[in-house]
Amino acid sequence: MRIILAPMEGLADVHLRRLITAQGSYDWVVSEFVRVVDRPYPDRVLHNICPELQQGGRTASGTPVRVQLLGNHLESMASNAQRAVQLGSYGIDINFGCPSKTVNRSMGGAVLLKEPDTLFRVVSAVRAALPKSVVVSAKMRLGFDDTALMLDNAAAIEAAGANELTVHARTKLQGYAPPAHWDELGKIRAHIKIPLIANGDICTVDDYHRCVAAAGTVDVMLGRGAVKLPTLANQIRANQSIEAQWSSIIPLLNSFWQDISLVLPPRDCVGRVKQWVNYLRQLHPEAETLWRSIREEKSSQNMNTLLAAMIH
């Protein structure tokens, strides 16, 4: 069993990655994507997306971090992959799953699922640029509008030399709407020989077992389920569902607030806390109470007072 923390653009930044991986049980984490254009980036761009590169390519608790690249410019994807690995990235992941309209208009992310040949060329370029010992992975969805090219896309990624494939069990059109279609992952598992990592709607230990049964793989990538329940990976490994105590979440929220307050503008800090609490309230009744008190809050000072009051 391998458990990976998913890349979640605008949500799982370095601060949340630090807190969630500190709870343990993750084999690695994938960074938010670096949007590659037609040139190699200076190191500061890679460091901005993945600050862990400045600490040996690992989170503070020692979990390896894999840089994710998004784009279709072959030379630039290759050169930026090389530099990311030189800076300490634990392999390279390629994003073929982002559903953002802005990204898709620029021929990046899920829109490339319409073109299996393009997937092949992008993965091939990155694979050829790196030593064989460096893992190249890709993350895709079941398709763009439908699943018609699902198996072709998976086969193209494998044929291009990827070491493993993560699949979010929805199409781009389905976005994040429930349910995740784990049964489709089973079809992909039967079609490729490289390891398959299942992703989508794994929020409980029971979800994990149902996904594994349908997908035919024990390897999973946890996304929003881990944001709602930071100990989810531990529970899956122990095969034991434990109701999270709000008292264990409070220190994490406070640590998150202290962390982001050092580097983000006050208004952004308030917004980030609201964002996380909005996810937490889906599992924790106490978070619902907190949400009601902060959802209209704009003052950093007031937010700091509210969070400090929870500690005492």
Listed in order, strand segments (DSSP E) in the chain are 3-5, 28-35, 65-70, 92-96, 136-143, 164-171, 196-199, 220-222
Q: What is the DSSP string of 199-262?
A: ESS--SHHHHHHHHHHHS-S-EEE-HHHHH-TTHHHHHHHT---PPPHHHHHHHHHHHHHHHHT
Instruction: Show Cβ contacts of residue 312 under 8 Å, excluding neighbours closer than 6 positions.
Output: none
Phi, psi angle pair for 294, to nearest 5° = -115, -10
Q: Report the alpha-carbon distance of residue 261 to residue 304 in Å, rounded.
A: 10
Q: Report the alpha-carbon distance of residue 296 to residue 229 in Å, rounded.
A: 24
DSSP bridge partners of 95: 139
Q: Go through 287-300 and write b for each residue having 16 or more CB atoms within 10 A of its CB, e for each that does not.
A: beebeeebeeeeeb
Q: Which two tokens stand for residue 236?
A: 């899956």
Q: Report the alpha-carbon distance of residue 136 to residue 40 in Å, rounded.
A: 18
Which residues does the annotation mark as catalytic?
98
